Every structure is written in structure tokens, then in C-alpha cells.
Structure 1
């Protein structure tokens, strides 16, 4: 029994390292695609081509995750948030809360940002990836500029 658990642990560690390696590759492809202003389809082709010789083969789920991440980071990089008001609107923070103390506002911003992840499965992630990217950008803007 001990041997099996050690084997399982080794397989988990190897799978984790492989997943981390694949995630690094995926992140590089997304960044490269965004810098080159590739369309989602061009990014997907680059993704499939790059991972063609890596085992295990790319799964359908992995393709969906790639698309969702690409959409999320595309919307994140393509929007400019230059005012707190714009960040608040994207996060859905009501106007009456805009003038609360910074700590209370940060709490509201965190709640608004993290609420979207409560019941997120792969299909709702891909469907809402653009909005998630916008909210991420708004949350980051607010986090950096909350005191000013």
C-alpha cells in the first residue's frame, strides 16, 4: 500500500510539473499572439502547432481553456481604464459607495471581482472571458489607485 501511494504521489508530481510546463507554453503563446495582434483563430493555430509534438496531446478542454484565457487577456490589454469611476462601473460598484473610505471600497471591489468566479465552469469561463478580463483590469486599476 505504501508503494502505491508513493507511486501515486510521484505521478501527481510529474503531472503537476508537466501541467506547469504546458501552462508556461500556453502563457507564452498568448503573450506572443497578443503582441503580434493575432486573431483568436491565429492564436489557436499557433497553440495547436506549438503543442503538436508534446505529450499528452492537446485535449478539447485544454483548447477551451486556451480560448478563454486568450479572450480574457485580449480584453484586459485592449481596454484603457483611466478613472476610478470607469473602474467602479465595470466592477458594478454602486455610485453611493464611490465615496466610502478606501478600505471599504477595496473590499467591495474584491467582492465584485471574485463573485464572478463562484460558479464558473469551463463553458461559462469561455463565455464570460472578455468580461472577466475587463473586471480584472478594473480591479487592478482600483487596487493601485485606491488612495488617490
Structure 2
């Protein structure tokens, strides 16, 4: 009798992929046997500027990373639709995501989803000029190309 794989879940906007995203996804993948990632739909992003890249493009780029087993678009109306379908054992939050671990754990429990909630560590730049945020990449593009 084989054991079910441990499923880790990460989520975010992943607008312009950068080394910080890869660090987050690698840490999330290390917490399970499978890594599923939910990409927020543009229309649902309210806590920061809306993504520049289309939803499907962001999903396809994240899904192309070797560390990701499956990338999913978020549901336009109910955050928990893909979470219920994935049925994760652990939800890994990015180090700088605005979500509160206890609130997420409570919401998961209220939905009948038995999953631990953990936070990934941050990553420092490894060399001068390395950009670890979408906002920093956009700011540099505007400064140097506008």
C-alpha cells in the first residue's frame, strides 16, 4: 500500500518572474512531494498594482518551472475552489505576502481543509543590482527605457 504524496501549495501573482519567486517556489516544493501553485487572477488583485502580464501567461510561465508540478489559475469568485480541488497538506506563504498565517489557517479549517500554514523565508540579493521584486524590475525598466 503506497502513501499519498504530501501536497504543498503556494500562491501569488507572479507577474514578472524573478529570483525571489524561484526561491519561494523552491522552498514551498521542499515542504512536499508535489507543488501546486495558484496564480491570482488580475481582477482579484486589490492589495497592490494589478499584474501587467495576462493571467494565462503568468500561469504558463510558473507552470514551466521544473520545481512546479502544476500551476492553476485562481477562481474569479471563490478563492477556495482551486484549494479544495488541490487539497493541500501545507500552504506555504511567501515571506512578504500580506496574508496572516492564523487567519489563513482559520479560513482553511472553516472550509474543512486540513492543511498546515507556513511562511517561506526571504532571499537577499546575491550580487549588486540583482532585482528581487516585480516592482523593482518595473521601476528599473521605466528609469532606463522611458
Using structure 1 for the length normalisation, give the TM-score: 0.26
- Greater per-residue strand proportion: 2
Structure with the bigger percentage of helix: 1
Larger radius of gyration: 1
Report the TM-score, using the length of structure 2 for normalisation: 0.26
